[in-house]
Amino acid sequence: MGVRTSLRRYHVWLGWLVALPFLFWTLSGLVMVAKPIEEVRGTALIAGPKPLALVPGLVVPRIEGRAVSSLKLEQRAAGPRWVVDFADGTTRLADPLTGATLPELGAVDAAREVSARYTGKARVVETSRVDAGDPPIELRRALNGWRVRMDDDSHFYVDAGSGEIVARRTAWWRFYDFMWGLHIMDLQGREDTNNPWVVSFGVLSLGMVILAMILLPLTIKRKNGRNGRRLSSS
């Protein structure tokens, strides 16, 4: 058996082995470029905060016994609010007129925050609590807050402490995210681009390409030899 024949056999077997990953990579790549990333992320669905309507006599929040890392005034659906970031990583809102710390947002408050800045045509159909210890895979972070679901299956995540809309997830985003997991061969976490599956198939694919580059000049040389013999015999 000649070297060329052996290399062709290896190339064929490698081709069959990586055919399915090649299909997944091509399909998922096509999906990921099918729409602008801003549309996938739903960037335009949430408007920026409204301009602050400052009121006279602002009162600094009354914080006792807790270290504060930052203090800022931001607009919320119910009006201006102090956003107090504590050194322990938690955040709370405070009333700018009294300085009193406000309770965490409830389900109705979270839906109101989304509705106040939502620019689309869908309606709120459900507001559910997010388990900080077991967040949805589409969120990718621990959150003490709420998920506001619209009737077009878009999801908005609201922090219960700060009232901030921390994430937006359209239906297309979730499909895009699944395809991304398929692309990097990590459907469980969808973040590990260095997992054994993608590395192994990447190496095999590289081997197939190298074999093809070796076979091409051998094939051309053999064809040229055959054509030369035919011309000489004629």
Question: Residue 126: what pLDDT?
Answer: 97
Question: Residue 13: what pLDDT?
Answer: 76
Same domain, yes or no: 19 and 72: no
Sheet containing 155-159, strands listed edge to edge, beginning at the edge strand earlier in sequence = 124-130, 145-150, 155-159, 165-169
Burial class (CB in 10 A: 0-12, 13-18, 19+), 67: exposed
Q: Render the burial of 204-230: b for 16+ CB within 10 Å, e for the rest.
A: ebeebeebeeeeeeeeeeeeeeeeeee
Question: Residue 104: what pLDDT?
Answer: 97
Same domain, yes or no: 54 and 88: yes
Domain span holding position 14: 3-36+181-225
- Write the DSSP symbol of residue 151: T
Q: What is the pLDDT along the chain (234 residues), one digit of tens a residue?
A: 566 677 777 767 777 778 888 899 999 999 999 999 999 999 999 999 888 877 678 898 988 778 999 999 999 999 999 999 999 989 999 999 999 999 999 999 999 999 999 999 999 999 999 999 999 999 999 999 999 999 999 999 999 999 999 999 999 999 999 999 999 999 989 989 999 999 998 898 888 888 878 877 766 666 655 555 554 555
User: Among 55, 53, 78, 28, which residue's Cα sits nearest to residue 179?
Assistant: 28
Q: How many domains does the chain have?
A: 2
* Residue 69 near residue 84, CB atoms below 8 Å: no
199's CB contacts (< 8 A; 6+ apart) are none
Same domain, yes or no: 220 and 156: no
The answer to whether the pTM exceeds 0.85 is no
